[in-house]
Amino acid sequence: MANVSDPVKPQTETVPDLYTGEPPIQSAHNTWKAVDADLGRALGRNVHRAWTGQLFIQTADAHTVTLSAPSSFVATKINTHYADTISRLWEKHDRVDPPRAVRVVSGSRPTSRRGADPDSARPSLPGIPGARSGSSPAARATKMTLAPVSELARKRFTLENFVVGASNELAVAVARQVIGNQVPQYNPIMLHGANGMGKTHILHAIEAEVTERDPARRVKFVSAEDFVAQFVASVRGSGREGMSAFKASLRDVDLLIIDDCHFIADKSASQEELLHTIISMVGAGRQILIASDRHPDTIEKASDRLKSYLSSGLVCKIGPADYELRLRILDRLIARRREQGHASLAIPQPARDHLAARMNVTPRDLEGAFNQIVAQSEFLGTPITLETVQETLSDSRYMTGQRLTVDRIQRTVCEAFSISLTDMSSKRRARAVARPRQVAMYLSKKLTKRSLPDIGRRFGGRDHTTVMHAVKRITQLRSDDVTFDAQVKAVEDALKG
Ligand SMILES: Nc1ncnc2c1ncn2[C@@H]1O[C@H](COP(=O)(O)OP(=O)(O)OP(=O)(O)O)[C@@H](O)[C@H]1O
């Protein structure tokens, strides 16, 4: 069995497995195909694409499979949020009997000219390899959730490293308020914003700063996925005591942080448990901080009661980063890379401008493109120029993030006007719903190549004349009403970057 304190070694054990007859690395690849497909379904396409979809098989032997993430940040996020799901699915699909332990490390592909990231020596899934034979999923879930954020993550995800702009300044102010005040001013606090906007960064920064400033203040950070896994495990397996222990582990703290809460939405029993957790924390005067990729009102399948409690304290949005903020994030990335020993790293101004202008989706995409450009220049020993940046960004992976679809327009409009996605296709005619719907139709016509009938179909099967009317109405309103015009322009800018 691989010792997690060893650095990642090339795969050594090539003896075919007695059960499958396949070499371990081959069966690992085959198993991964099935797990990869299931992960997309279990976590949702966006989450999978952003995180677990980036994993690849690093090594495999008869006992352990090592999955590698492209950076220590991605490895940390996967280990703190998705490790249990990966383990569970691996166990389900592994072609080797008994199923192998899985661990996630950060590091480059085996064919790379570079060695594995030193981070990879860290035990990324504490307890997993040694615990496989005897430990229950619940026990493993608990261990994983309690795994401390790595030192590296702690140093990196600080408020100091978080670049503040108009789209996130409220969230940062709220974070500072939570860090500085033991007595909650607003409770619960709900932080929402699309994937990759920096929610997890802020949450980790709060956790780290509170722990450092005041070790007596008990802080618990849990992903919604682990919340569900532990809740289900305690319902199924460990009787009344297990359930009490689960509740206590969440509620007997001074600050409870729950990430990716939208994950709980379609799980009714977990929703109920979350609701009672919120009520209990607020009632006891203990701070609860929750992050989600959307406004509570637009979490489909969340009960009205849960939505109402989630919105009952303070709801704080992190909006899309504008060009100026993206440029400053880029500067921060460059400065950090220089501090890490790449003192000569240089990106000429036109290349920086191009990068910040093109990578108009999220800070995560910007960071991914930056890493790609720097790595390419290091590996090839070539300088970074406007041309090399243009070439890298023409890669389809970066282009797909920017493609404007009716679906993306609808989601962005819903977020901007705080209505639910179902309202886009509903028959509701109240102005609070009908106007944003018209805005989404107008923007779909303006920003995509879709025909009027096609757009109509995507709004609950409406006629093309309805879309035409929406386009006329919004055009008229924009010229009559400057405030409304500014509102629509903000949405359009966010979509175009
Ligand atoms: N304002 C910012 N300044 C510096 N880095 C940022 C900023 N916003 C985001 N990032 C970086 O972008 C990456 C993605 O951020 P993070 O994972 O916190 O997003 P998220 O909103 O939690 O996404 P998800 O919903 O997918 O979990 C991280 O590397 C984070 O450090």
CATH number at residue 5: 3.30.300.180
At 143, the pLDDT band (50, 70, 90 cuts) reads very low
Single out the residue of 274, 269, 241 nearest to residue 138, CA to CA: 241
Higher pLDDT, 50 or 7: 50
- Rounded Cα distance between 459 and 298, Å, is 17
Q: How many Cβ atoms from other residues are within 10 Å of residue 136's Cβ? A: 13
Is 268 part of any domain?
yes
Q: 251 and 364: one domain?
A: no
Ligand 1: centre distance to CA 363 (Å)? 6
CA atoms within 13 A on the CB side of 249: 19
> Is 174 among the domain residues?
yes
Which CATH number covers residue 439? 1.10.1750.10
- Residue 138 domain flag: no
Cβ–ligand 1 contact at 163 (below 6 Å): yes
**Average pLDDT across the chain, whole number:** 79
- Residue 328 and residue 375 in one domain: yes
ipTM of the shown complex? 0.98
Number of domains in the chain: 4
> Each residue of 264-306: pLDDT tens digit?
877 888 899 999 999 999 999 999 999 998 899 888 788 999 9
Residues 31 and 68 in one domain: yes
Q: How far does the centroid of ligand 1 lie from the alpha carbon of residue 362, in Å?
A: 8
Percent helix / strand / coil, the chain, rounded to 5: 60, 10, 35
Q: Are residues 426 and 455 in the same domain?
A: yes
pLDDT beyond 70 at 47:
yes
- CATH number of the domain at 350, please: 1.10.8
Domain co-membership, 166 together with 236: yes
pLDDT classification of 154: cutoffs 50, 70, 90: low
> Nearest 5°: CA angle at 344, between 350 and 117?
105
Q: Which residue has the CA at smallest separation from atom 10 of ligand 1?
A: 198
Q: What residues does 189 pair with on adjacent strands?
A: 289, 314
> What CA–CA distance (Å, rounded) separates 48 from 29?
18
Closest to 51 (Cα-Cα) out of 34, 70, 25, 35: 70
Of 276, 301, 317, the last residue of a domain is: 317
Distance 151 CA to ligand 1 centre (A): 18
Same-domain pairing of 235 and 305: yes
pLDDT in tens, 209-251: 999 899 899 999 998 888 888 888 888 776 677 788 888 889 9
The pLDDT of residue 116 is above 60? no
Q: Is residue 114's pLDDT more than 50? A: no
265: tokens are: 């939405």
Four-residue CA torsion sign, 365, 207, 70, 291: negative
Rounded to the nearest 10°, the torsion over CA 216, 217, 218, 220 is -140
In CATH, what number is assigned to the domain containing residue 277? 3.40.50.300
Q: Edge-to-edge, what's the strand order for the sheet holding 64-69?
A: 56-60, 64-69, 101-106
Strand-pair partners of 103: 66
Ligand 1 pocket: which of 80, 150, 197 to mutate (most atoms <8 Å of CB)?
Answer: 197
**pLDDT tens digits for range 10-37:** 333 444 444 445 567 777 888 888 888 8
pLDDT score for 328 = 94
Q: Output the CA 490–ligand 1 centroid distance in Å.
A: 21
Q: Is 365 in the pocket of ligand 1 (CB under 6 A)?
A: no
Q: What is the atom index within ligand 1 of the atom nearest the CA of 46? A: 26
Q: Which of 194, 171, 189 is nearest to 415 (CA)?
A: 194
Instruction: Cis check for the bond before 123: say yes or no (omega within 30 of 0).
Output: no
CA distances from 20 to 23, 28, 58 (A): 8, 11, 20
How far is the centre of ligand 1, averaged over its atoms, from the C-alpha of 427 (Å)? 36
Residue ranges making up the domain that contains 158: 154-317
Q: Which of 155, 364, 370 to mutate for ligand 1's pocket (most ligand atoms within 8 Å of CB)?
A: 364
Q: Give 71-92 pLDDT, tens digit per residue.
A: 777 787 788 778 878 888 888 7
Do 354 and 447 have their domain in common? no
Query: Which single residue is written with the structure tokens 């720097």?
Result: 374
Gap between the terminal Cα atoms of the chain: 48
Q: Does 331 share its domain with 410?
A: no
Element (H, E) at 444: helix 431-447
Which atom of ligand 1 approaches the CA of 162 most closely?
A: 3
The residue type of 358 is: R
- Residue 32, domain member (yes or no): yes
Count the alpha carbons within 13 Å of 263 in the hemisphere toward its beta carbon: 26
Distance (Å) from CA 157 to ligand 1 centroid: 9
User: In this structure, is residue 142 part of a structural domain?
Assistant: no
* Alpha-carbon span 299 to 414, nearest angstrom: 11
Identify whether 201 is part of a domain.
Answer: yes
Using pLDDT thresholds of 50, 70 and 90, give the confidence band for residue 361. low
Q: Are residues 56 and 192 in the same domain?
A: no
Question: Is the previous residue joined to 98 through a cis bond, with omega within 30 degrees of 0?
Answer: yes
| Binding site, annotated residues for ATP | 196, 198-200
Distance between CA atoms of 440 and 449, rounded to whole angstroms? 14
Closest CA to 474 of 458, 492, 497: 492
Residues making up the binding site: 196, 198-200
Do 102 and 180 lie in one domain? The reply is no
Same domain, 179 and 311: yes
Q: 60 CB contacts (<8 Å, ≥6 apart)?
A: 11, 24, 25, 27, 28, 66, 100
Q: Do 385 and 367 sit in the same domain of this protein?
A: yes
pLDDT band at 444 (very low <50, low <70, confident <90, very high): very high
> Is 140 a domain residue?
no
Q: Which residues 6+ apart lie within 8 Å of 269 measured at CB?
A: 231, 235
Q: Is residue 141 domain-resident?
A: no
Helix (H) or strand (E) segment spanning residue 287: strand 287-292
Q: Indicate whether residue 168 lines ligand 1 (CB < 6 A).
A: yes
φ, ψ for residue 464 (rounded to 5)? -65, -25
Share of the chain above pLDDT 90, in %: 32
Domain boundary among 402, 431, 447: 402
| Domain closes at, from 317, 343, 372 | 317
